[in-house]
Structure 1
Protein backbone atom coordinates (compact mmCIF):
# COMPACT_ATOMS: atom_id res chain seq x y z
CA UNK A 1 0.00 0.00 0.00
CA UNK A 2 1.51 3.31 -1.09
CA UNK A 3 1.91 6.29 1.22
CA UNK A 4 0.02 9.48 0.65
CA UNK A 5 1.83 12.71 -0.23
CA UNK A 6 3.80 14.73 2.26
CA UNK A 7 1.40 17.67 1.98
CA UNK A 8 -1.58 15.45 2.81
CA UNK A 9 0.32 14.00 5.78
CA UNK A 10 1.09 17.53 6.95
CA UNK A 11 -2.60 18.38 6.77
CA UNK A 12 -3.45 15.42 8.98
CA UNK A 13 -0.74 16.31 11.48
CA UNK A 14 -1.84 19.95 11.49
CA UNK A 15 -5.36 18.86 12.37
CA UNK A 16 -3.86 17.07 15.38
CA UNK A 17 -1.70 20.09 16.25
CA UNK A 18 1.47 18.15 15.44
CA UNK A 19 4.51 19.46 13.53
CA UNK A 20 7.14 16.86 12.51
CA UNK A 21 9.57 19.49 11.22
CA UNK A 22 9.47 21.29 14.56
CA UNK A 23 10.36 17.99 16.22
CA UNK A 24 13.33 17.54 13.87
CA UNK A 25 14.56 21.07 14.52
CA UNK A 26 14.41 20.62 18.28
CA UNK A 27 16.38 17.37 18.11
CA UNK A 28 19.05 18.85 15.81
CA UNK A 29 19.39 21.99 17.93
CA UNK A 30 19.73 19.90 21.08
CA UNK A 31 22.53 17.84 19.53
CA UNK A 32 24.32 20.98 18.31
CA UNK A 33 24.10 22.63 21.73
CA UNK A 34 25.39 19.51 23.44
CA UNK A 35 28.32 19.26 21.02
CA UNK A 36 29.30 22.93 21.47
CA UNK A 37 29.10 22.71 25.25
CA UNK A 38 31.20 19.54 25.24
CA UNK A 39 34.05 21.03 23.22
CA UNK A 40 33.92 24.35 25.09
CA UNK A 41 34.34 22.44 28.34
CA UNK A 42 37.16 20.39 26.79
CA UNK A 43 38.96 23.59 25.67
CA UNK A 44 38.63 25.25 29.08
CA UNK A 45 39.97 22.17 30.89
CA UNK A 46 42.89 21.82 28.48
CA UNK A 47 43.76 25.54 28.80
CA UNK A 48 43.78 25.30 32.58
CA UNK A 49 45.93 22.16 32.64
CA UNK A 50 48.44 23.56 30.12
CA UNK A 51 48.47 27.11 31.55
CA UNK A 52 47.82 28.34 28.01
CA UNK A 53 45.40 31.19 28.76
CA UNK A 54 46.00 34.46 26.84
CA UNK A 55 49.08 33.08 25.07
CA UNK A 56 50.00 31.86 21.62
CA UNK A 57 49.58 28.30 22.91
CA UNK A 58 45.96 29.16 23.66
CA UNK A 59 45.38 30.10 20.02
CA UNK A 60 47.01 26.90 18.82
CA UNK A 61 44.95 24.85 21.27
CA UNK A 62 41.76 26.61 20.13
CA UNK A 63 42.53 25.80 16.48
CA UNK A 64 43.14 22.15 17.33
CA UNK A 65 39.91 21.81 19.32
CA UNK A 66 37.92 23.53 16.54
CA UNK A 67 39.39 21.16 13.96
CA UNK A 68 38.32 18.11 15.99
CA UNK A 69 34.87 19.60 16.61
CA UNK A 70 34.34 20.26 12.90
CA UNK A 71 35.16 16.65 12.04
CA UNK A 72 32.79 15.33 14.69
CA UNK A 73 30.13 17.82 13.58
CA UNK A 74 30.46 16.67 9.97
CA UNK A 75 29.91 13.01 10.90
CA UNK A 76 26.95 13.84 13.13
CA UNK A 77 25.34 16.01 10.44
CA UNK A 78 25.50 13.16 7.95
CA UNK A 79 24.02 10.66 10.41
CA UNK A 80 21.27 13.02 11.53
CA UNK A 81 20.38 13.89 7.94
CA UNK A 82 19.79 10.19 7.22
CA UNK A 83 17.77 9.88 10.43
CA UNK A 84 15.62 12.90 9.57
CA UNK A 85 14.93 11.62 6.07
CA UNK A 86 14.00 8.18 7.37
CA UNK A 87 11.60 9.60 9.95
CA UNK A 88 10.04 11.98 7.44
CA UNK A 89 9.26 9.36 4.81
CA UNK A 90 8.54 6.40 7.08
CA UNK A 91 7.50 7.52 10.55
CA UNK A 92 5.57 10.67 9.65
CA UNK A 93 4.13 9.49 6.33
CA UNK A 94 0.58 8.13 6.45
CA UNK A 95 -0.64 5.23 4.27
CA UNK A 96 -2.80 5.93 1.24
CA UNK A 97 -6.49 6.25 2.03
CA UNK A 98 -5.92 7.27 5.62
CA UNK A 99 -8.30 9.97 6.84
CA UNK A 100 -9.30 11.36 10.16
CA UNK A 101 -12.74 10.28 11.37
CA UNK A 102 -15.48 12.88 11.53
CA UNK A 103 -15.79 13.85 15.15
CA UNK A 104 -19.47 14.77 14.91
CA UNK A 105 -20.43 11.49 13.26
CA UNK A 106 -18.42 9.31 15.61
CA UNK A 107 -20.06 10.74 18.70
CA UNK A 108 -23.46 9.22 18.00
CA UNK A 109 -22.35 5.90 16.57
CA UNK A 110 -21.37 2.72 18.32
CA UNK A 111 -17.99 1.13 17.75
CA UNK A 112 -17.85 -0.88 14.55
CA UNK A 113 -16.44 -4.23 15.64
CA UNK A 114 -16.03 -5.29 12.03
CA UNK A 115 -13.75 -2.33 11.36
CA UNK A 116 -11.56 -3.33 14.28
CA UNK A 117 -10.95 -6.76 12.76
CA UNK A 118 -10.43 -5.39 9.24
CA UNK A 119 -7.39 -7.17 7.69
CA UNK A 120 -6.28 -3.92 6.05
CA UNK A 121 -6.19 -2.17 9.40
CA UNK A 122 -4.26 -5.05 10.92
CA UNK A 123 -1.78 -4.87 8.07
CA UNK A 124 -1.34 -1.14 8.61
CA UNK A 125 -0.75 -1.68 12.31
CA UNK A 126 1.84 -4.36 11.61
CA UNK A 127 3.57 -2.02 9.17
CA UNK A 128 3.63 0.75 11.76
CA UNK A 129 5.04 -1.64 14.35
CA UNK A 130 7.85 -2.66 12.02
CA UNK A 131 8.65 0.95 11.23
CA UNK A 132 8.66 1.79 14.91
CA UNK A 133 11.09 -1.07 15.57
CA UNK A 134 13.39 0.25 12.82
CA UNK A 135 13.30 3.73 14.33
CA UNK A 136 14.18 2.32 17.75
CA UNK A 137 17.10 0.42 16.23
CA UNK A 138 18.36 3.56 14.50
CA UNK A 139 18.05 5.49 17.76
CA UNK A 140 20.10 2.84 19.56
CA UNK A 141 22.82 3.14 16.92
CA UNK A 142 22.90 6.93 17.32
CA UNK A 143 23.08 6.59 21.09
CA UNK A 144 25.98 4.15 20.73
CA UNK A 145 27.85 6.58 18.47
CA UNK A 146 27.30 9.40 20.96
CA UNK A 147 28.57 7.14 23.75
CA UNK A 148 31.68 6.29 21.70
CA UNK A 149 32.34 9.99 21.12
CA UNK A 150 32.06 10.67 24.84
CA UNK A 151 34.51 7.86 25.59
CA UNK A 152 36.95 9.23 23.00
CA UNK A 153 36.67 12.71 24.52
CA UNK A 154 37.38 11.29 27.99
CA UNK A 155 40.40 9.39 26.64
CA UNK A 156 41.78 12.55 25.00
CA UNK A 157 41.33 14.45 28.26
CA UNK A 158 43.24 11.76 30.18
CA UNK A 159 46.08 11.87 27.64
CA UNK A 160 46.38 15.63 28.02
CA UNK A 161 46.41 15.33 31.82
CA UNK A 162 49.17 12.70 31.70
CA UNK A 163 51.24 14.87 29.35
CA UNK A 164 50.87 17.86 31.69
CA UNK A 165 51.91 15.76 34.69
CA UNK A 166 55.00 14.50 32.89
CA UNK A 167 55.90 18.06 31.90
CA UNK A 168 55.50 19.25 35.49
CA UNK A 169 57.49 16.35 36.96
CA UNK A 170 60.45 16.69 34.58
CA UNK A 171 61.78 20.24 35.14
CA UNK A 172 64.34 20.77 32.37
CA UNK A 173 66.19 23.77 33.95
CA UNK A 174 66.77 21.80 37.16
CA UNK A 175 67.97 18.79 35.14
CA UNK A 176 70.43 21.01 33.23
CA UNK A 177 71.81 22.48 36.45
CA UNK A 178 72.25 19.00 37.89
CA UNK A 179 74.20 17.91 34.79
CA UNK A 180 76.47 20.98 35.03
CA UNK A 181 77.16 20.34 38.73
CA UNK A 182 78.02 16.71 38.03
CA UNK A 183 80.37 17.70 35.19
CA UNK A 184 82.13 20.25 37.42
CA UNK A 185 82.61 17.68 40.17
CA UNK A 186 83.97 15.18 37.64
CA UNK A 187 86.53 17.70 36.38
CA UNK A 188 87.72 18.36 39.94
CA UNK A 189 88.11 14.65 40.63
CA UNK A 190 90.04 14.13 37.38
CA UNK A 191 92.34 17.05 38.28
CA UNK A 192 93.05 15.55 41.70
CA UNK A 193 93.72 12.16 40.14
CA UNK A 194 96.15 13.67 37.63
CA UNK A 195 98.00 15.51 40.40
CA UNK A 196 98.26 12.35 42.48
CA UNK A 197 99.62 10.41 39.50
CA UNK A 198 102.31 13.06 38.87
CA UNK A 199 103.35 13.07 42.53
CA UNK A 200 103.44 9.28 42.65
CA UNK A 201 105.60 9.13 39.51
CA UNK A 202 108.07 11.63 40.98
CA UNK A 203 108.28 9.62 44.18
CA UNK A 204 108.96 6.40 42.26
CA UNK A 205 111.78 8.07 40.28
CA UNK A 206 113.37 9.43 43.46
CA UNK A 207 113.11 6.03 45.09
CA UNK A 208 114.81 4.35 42.15
CA UNK A 209 117.67 6.82 42.31
CA UNK A 210 118.07 6.35 46.05
CA UNK A 211 118.01 2.57 45.82
CA UNK A 212 120.62 2.32 43.08
CA UNK A 213 123.61 0.23 44.15
CA UNK A 214 125.91 1.75 41.54
CA UNK A 215 129.16 3.03 43.07
CA UNK A 216 129.59 6.55 41.71
CA UNK A 217 132.93 6.90 43.49
CA UNK A 218 134.35 4.38 41.03
CA UNK A 219 134.32 7.11 38.42
CA UNK A 220 137.55 8.84 39.50
CA UNK A 221 139.89 10.88 37.34
CA UNK A 222 142.86 8.61 37.72
CA UNK A 223 141.43 5.31 36.68
CA UNK A 224 138.53 6.61 34.53
CA UNK A 225 135.82 3.98 33.99
CA UNK A 226 138.10 0.98 34.08
CA UNK A 227 136.83 -0.21 37.46
CA UNK A 228 133.13 0.31 36.62
CA UNK A 229 131.08 -2.65 35.55
CA UNK A 230 129.17 -2.54 32.25
CA UNK A 231 125.89 -3.50 33.95
CA UNK A 232 126.19 -0.56 36.34
CA UNK A 233 126.79 1.86 33.48
CA UNK A 234 123.79 0.53 31.54
CA UNK A 235 121.52 0.84 34.58
CA UNK A 236 122.74 4.41 35.17
CA UNK A 237 122.03 5.39 31.53
CA UNK A 238 118.53 3.89 31.65
CA UNK A 239 117.81 5.69 34.89
CA UNK A 240 118.87 9.05 33.43
CA UNK A 241 116.70 8.53 30.35
CA UNK A 242 113.63 7.80 32.43
CA UNK A 243 113.96 11.04 34.45
Structure 2
Protein backbone atom coordinates (compact mmCIF):
# COMPACT_ATOMS: atom_id res chain seq x y z
CA UNK A 1 0.00 0.00 0.00
CA UNK A 2 3.01 2.24 0.45
CA UNK A 3 3.41 4.80 -2.30
CA UNK A 4 0.03 4.03 -3.80
CA UNK A 5 -2.83 6.39 -4.59
CA UNK A 6 -4.79 5.00 -1.64
CA UNK A 7 -2.01 5.91 0.77
CA UNK A 8 -1.99 9.47 -0.52
CA UNK A 9 -5.74 9.76 -0.06
CA UNK A 10 -5.58 8.48 3.52
CA UNK A 11 -2.68 10.80 4.30
CA UNK A 12 -4.72 13.75 3.06
CA UNK A 13 -7.53 12.62 5.38
CA UNK A 14 -5.04 12.24 8.24
CA UNK A 15 -5.72 8.51 8.47
CA UNK A 16 -3.27 5.59 8.72
CA UNK A 17 -4.67 2.10 8.04
CA UNK A 18 -1.46 0.41 9.19
CA UNK A 19 -1.83 1.91 12.65
CA UNK A 20 -5.34 0.47 12.86
CA UNK A 21 -4.11 -3.00 11.84
CA UNK A 22 -1.23 -2.88 14.32
CA UNK A 23 -3.59 -1.88 17.12
CA UNK A 24 -5.85 -4.85 16.40
CA UNK A 25 -2.87 -7.26 16.35
CA UNK A 26 -1.59 -5.89 19.67
CA UNK A 27 -5.01 -6.39 21.24
CA UNK A 28 -5.07 -10.01 20.04
CA UNK A 29 -1.58 -10.68 21.44
CA UNK A 30 -2.55 -9.19 24.80
CA UNK A 31 -5.66 -11.37 24.95
CA UNK A 32 -3.71 -14.56 24.13
CA UNK A 33 -1.00 -13.74 26.69
CA UNK A 34 -3.55 -13.10 29.39
CA UNK A 35 -5.38 -16.35 28.63
CA UNK A 36 -2.27 -18.54 28.88
CA UNK A 37 -1.03 -16.77 32.01
CA UNK A 38 -4.36 -17.37 33.73
CA UNK A 39 -4.36 -21.00 32.60
CA UNK A 40 -0.84 -21.57 33.94
CA UNK A 41 -1.60 -19.96 37.30
CA UNK A 42 -4.70 -22.06 37.83
CA UNK A 43 -2.95 -25.25 36.70
CA UNK A 44 -0.03 -24.75 39.11
CA UNK A 45 -2.47 -24.83 41.99
CA UNK A 46 -3.33 -28.42 41.13
CA UNK A 47 0.21 -29.87 40.96
CA UNK A 48 3.18 -30.20 43.28
CA UNK A 49 6.37 -28.16 43.06
CA UNK A 50 8.20 -31.03 41.37
CA UNK A 51 5.55 -31.18 38.66
CA UNK A 52 5.36 -27.43 38.17
CA UNK A 53 8.41 -27.27 35.87
CA UNK A 54 6.98 -29.93 33.61
CA UNK A 55 3.66 -28.10 33.58
CA UNK A 56 5.30 -24.84 32.57
CA UNK A 57 7.11 -26.57 29.72
CA UNK A 58 3.86 -28.11 28.52
CA UNK A 59 1.99 -24.80 28.64
CA UNK A 60 4.84 -23.10 26.77
CA UNK A 61 4.74 -25.75 24.05
CA UNK A 62 0.98 -25.40 23.63
CA UNK A 63 1.30 -21.63 23.50
CA UNK A 64 3.94 -21.84 20.78
CA UNK A 65 1.70 -24.03 18.63
CA UNK A 66 -1.34 -21.78 19.12
CA UNK A 67 0.68 -18.60 18.59
CA UNK A 68 2.19 -19.93 15.35
CA UNK A 69 -1.20 -20.80 13.86
CA UNK A 70 -2.66 -17.49 15.05
CA UNK A 71 0.20 -15.47 13.55
CA UNK A 72 -0.41 -17.04 10.13
CA UNK A 73 -4.09 -16.14 10.23
CA UNK A 74 -3.35 -12.61 11.44
CA UNK A 75 -0.84 -12.06 8.63
CA UNK A 76 -3.43 -13.12 6.06
CA UNK A 77 -6.00 -10.82 7.65
CA UNK A 78 -3.54 -7.90 7.61
CA UNK A 79 -2.81 -8.35 3.91
CA UNK A 80 -6.51 -8.60 3.09
CA UNK A 81 -7.32 -5.40 4.96
CA UNK A 82 -4.51 -3.38 3.38
CA UNK A 83 -5.16 -4.67 -0.14
CA UNK A 84 -8.97 -4.65 -0.19
CA UNK A 85 -10.54 -2.85 2.77
CA UNK A 86 -8.32 0.24 2.73
CA UNK A 87 -8.11 0.77 -1.03
CA UNK A 88 -9.99 3.59 -2.73
CA UNK A 89 -11.56 3.13 -6.20
CA UNK A 90 -9.54 4.08 -9.23
CA UNK A 91 -9.97 7.68 -10.25
CA UNK A 92 -11.09 8.74 -6.79
CA UNK A 93 -9.95 12.25 -5.93
CA UNK A 94 -10.55 14.57 -3.05
CA UNK A 95 -11.94 17.99 -3.83
CA UNK A 96 -10.10 20.54 -1.80
CA UNK A 97 -11.67 23.68 -0.47
CA UNK A 98 -9.56 26.47 0.95
CA UNK A 99 -11.28 27.51 4.14
CA UNK A 100 -9.05 29.13 6.80
CA UNK A 101 -6.05 27.59 5.05
CA UNK A 102 -7.12 23.97 5.89
CA UNK A 103 -7.93 21.19 3.42
CA UNK A 104 -11.52 20.04 3.92
CA UNK A 105 -13.64 17.50 2.10
CA UNK A 106 -16.61 18.82 0.19
CA UNK A 107 -19.98 17.84 1.60
CA UNK A 108 -21.33 16.53 -1.70
CA UNK A 109 -19.63 14.61 -4.54
CA UNK A 110 -20.56 15.20 -8.16
CA UNK A 111 -22.90 12.60 -9.58
CA UNK A 112 -21.42 10.56 -12.41
CA UNK A 113 -22.95 9.85 -15.80
CA UNK A 114 -24.23 6.40 -14.85
CA UNK A 115 -26.29 7.82 -12.01
CA UNK A 116 -27.79 10.42 -14.34
CA UNK A 117 -28.72 7.71 -16.83
CA UNK A 118 -30.39 5.68 -14.10
CA UNK A 119 -32.37 8.69 -12.93
CA UNK A 120 -33.51 9.47 -16.47
CA UNK A 121 -34.55 5.86 -17.01
CA UNK A 122 -36.51 5.90 -13.76
CA UNK A 123 -38.28 9.12 -14.80
CA UNK A 124 -39.26 7.61 -18.15
CA UNK A 125 -40.63 4.47 -16.51
CA UNK A 126 -42.57 6.57 -14.02
CA UNK A 127 -44.06 8.67 -16.84
CA UNK A 128 -45.09 5.53 -18.78
CA UNK A 129 -46.65 4.05 -15.64
CA UNK A 130 -48.60 7.28 -15.11
CA UNK A 131 -50.01 7.18 -18.64
CA UNK A 132 -51.02 3.53 -18.26
CA UNK A 133 -52.69 4.29 -14.94
CA UNK A 134 -54.67 7.14 -16.53
CA UNK A 135 -55.90 4.83 -19.31
CA UNK A 136 -56.96 2.22 -16.79
CA UNK A 137 -58.84 4.86 -14.83
CA UNK A 138 -60.74 5.92 -17.95
CA UNK A 139 -61.66 2.32 -18.76
CA UNK A 140 -62.80 1.76 -15.19
CA UNK A 141 -64.95 4.89 -15.32
CA UNK A 142 -66.57 3.71 -18.57
CA UNK A 143 -67.34 0.29 -17.11
CA UNK A 144 -68.86 1.92 -14.05
CA UNK A 145 -71.15 4.09 -16.20
CA UNK A 146 -72.20 1.06 -18.24
CA UNK A 147 -72.98 -0.89 -15.07
CA UNK A 148 -75.05 1.99 -13.67
CA UNK A 149 -77.05 2.24 -16.91
CA UNK A 150 -77.71 -1.50 -16.96
CA UNK A 151 -78.85 -1.41 -13.34
CA UNK A 152 -81.24 1.48 -14.05
CA UNK A 153 -82.76 -0.38 -17.02
CA UNK A 154 -83.25 -3.48 -14.88
CA UNK A 155 -84.96 -1.44 -12.17
CA UNK A 156 -87.27 0.20 -14.75
CA UNK A 157 -88.32 -3.18 -16.17
CA UNK A 158 -88.97 -4.57 -12.70
CA UNK A 159 -91.04 -1.52 -11.79
CA UNK A 160 -93.09 -1.86 -15.00
CA UNK A 161 -93.81 -5.56 -14.37
CA UNK A 162 -94.68 -5.12 -10.71
CA UNK A 163 -98.39 -4.12 -11.26
CA UNK A 164 -98.95 -7.15 -13.51
CA UNK A 165 -97.40 -9.48 -10.96
CA UNK A 166 -99.49 -7.98 -8.16
CA UNK A 167 -102.73 -8.27 -10.21
CA UNK A 168 -101.98 -11.89 -11.08
CA UNK A 169 -101.48 -12.82 -7.44
CA UNK A 170 -104.59 -10.91 -6.39
CA UNK A 171 -106.77 -12.63 -9.01
CA UNK A 172 -105.46 -16.05 -8.01
CA UNK A 173 -106.26 -15.35 -4.37
CA UNK A 174 -109.80 -14.23 -5.22
CA UNK A 175 -110.34 -17.38 -7.29
CA UNK A 176 -109.23 -19.54 -4.37
CA UNK A 177 -111.62 -17.69 -2.04
CA UNK A 178 -114.54 -18.23 -4.44
CA UNK A 179 -113.72 -21.93 -4.84
CA UNK A 180 -113.52 -22.39 -1.07
CA UNK A 181 -116.90 -20.68 -0.59
CA UNK A 182 -118.51 -22.88 -3.25
CA UNK A 183 -117.06 -26.01 -1.66
CA UNK A 184 -118.36 -25.06 1.78
CA UNK A 185 -121.83 -24.39 0.33
CA UNK A 186 -121.98 -27.76 -1.43
CA UNK A 187 -120.74 -29.61 1.64
CA UNK A 188 -123.40 -27.93 3.78
CA UNK A 189 -126.15 -28.92 1.31
CA UNK A 190 -124.85 -32.48 1.15
CA UNK A 191 -124.78 -32.82 4.93
CA UNK A 192 -128.34 -31.46 5.18
CA UNK A 193 -129.56 -33.88 2.54
CA UNK A 194 -127.84 -36.80 4.24
CA UNK A 195 -129.47 -36.00 7.58
CA UNK A 196 -132.89 -35.81 5.93
CA UNK A 197 -132.38 -39.12 4.16
CA UNK A 198 -131.21 -40.83 7.36
CA UNK A 199 -134.32 -39.62 9.17
CA UNK A 200 -136.55 -40.90 6.41
CA UNK A 201 -134.78 -44.28 6.37
CA UNK A 202 -135.24 -44.76 10.10
CA UNK A 203 -138.95 -44.03 9.76
CA UNK A 204 -139.36 -46.51 6.92
CA UNK A 205 -137.40 -49.22 8.72
CA UNK A 206 -139.79 -49.00 11.60
CA UNK A 207 -142.67 -49.81 9.27
CA UNK A 208 -140.78 -52.91 8.06
CA UNK A 209 -140.89 -51.99 4.38
CA UNK A 210 -138.50 -53.69 2.04
CA UNK A 211 -137.35 -52.61 -1.37
CA UNK A 212 -136.26 -54.99 -4.13
CA UNK A 213 -134.36 -52.64 -6.44
CA UNK A 214 -133.31 -49.09 -7.00
CA UNK A 215 -132.14 -47.37 -10.11
CA UNK A 216 -129.94 -44.30 -9.97
CA UNK A 217 -129.13 -41.98 -12.84
CA UNK A 218 -126.36 -39.38 -12.63
CA UNK A 219 -124.57 -37.00 -14.94
CA UNK A 220 -121.54 -39.31 -15.10
CA UNK A 221 -123.44 -42.56 -15.82
CA UNK A 222 -126.01 -44.98 -14.51
CA UNK A 223 -125.76 -47.14 -11.42
CA UNK A 224 -128.02 -50.24 -11.15
CA UNK A 225 -128.29 -51.82 -7.73
CA UNK A 226 -130.66 -54.60 -6.75
CA UNK A 227 -131.47 -56.35 -3.53
CA UNK A 228 -132.56 -60.03 -3.82
CA UNK A 229 -133.33 -60.67 -0.19
CA UNK A 230 -133.59 -58.98 3.13
CA UNK A 231 -130.50 -56.98 3.94
CA UNK A 232 -129.40 -53.42 3.14
CA UNK A 233 -132.47 -51.27 2.43
CA UNK A 234 -132.81 -49.75 -1.00
CA UNK A 235 -133.16 -46.33 0.54
CA UNK A 236 -129.59 -46.52 1.83
CA UNK A 237 -128.37 -47.41 -1.66
CA UNK A 238 -130.20 -44.43 -3.06
CA UNK A 239 -128.61 -42.18 -0.44
CA UNK A 240 -125.17 -43.55 -1.36
CA UNK A 241 -125.81 -42.82 -5.03
CA UNK A 242 -126.86 -39.26 -4.24
CA UNK A 243 -123.71 -38.74 -2.19
CA UNK A 244 -121.51 -39.95 -5.07
CA UNK A 245 -123.30 -37.65 -7.52
CA UNK A 246 -122.89 -34.62 -5.25
CA UNK A 247 -119.22 -35.37 -4.65
CA UNK A 248 -118.62 -35.71 -8.40
CA UNK A 249 -120.17 -32.29 -9.08
CA UNK A 250 -117.90 -30.50 -6.56
Q: How does the TM-score come out when normalised to structure 1?
A: 0.41
**Which has more helix, going by share of residues?**
1
Question: Which one has a bigger Cα radius of gyration?
Answer: 2
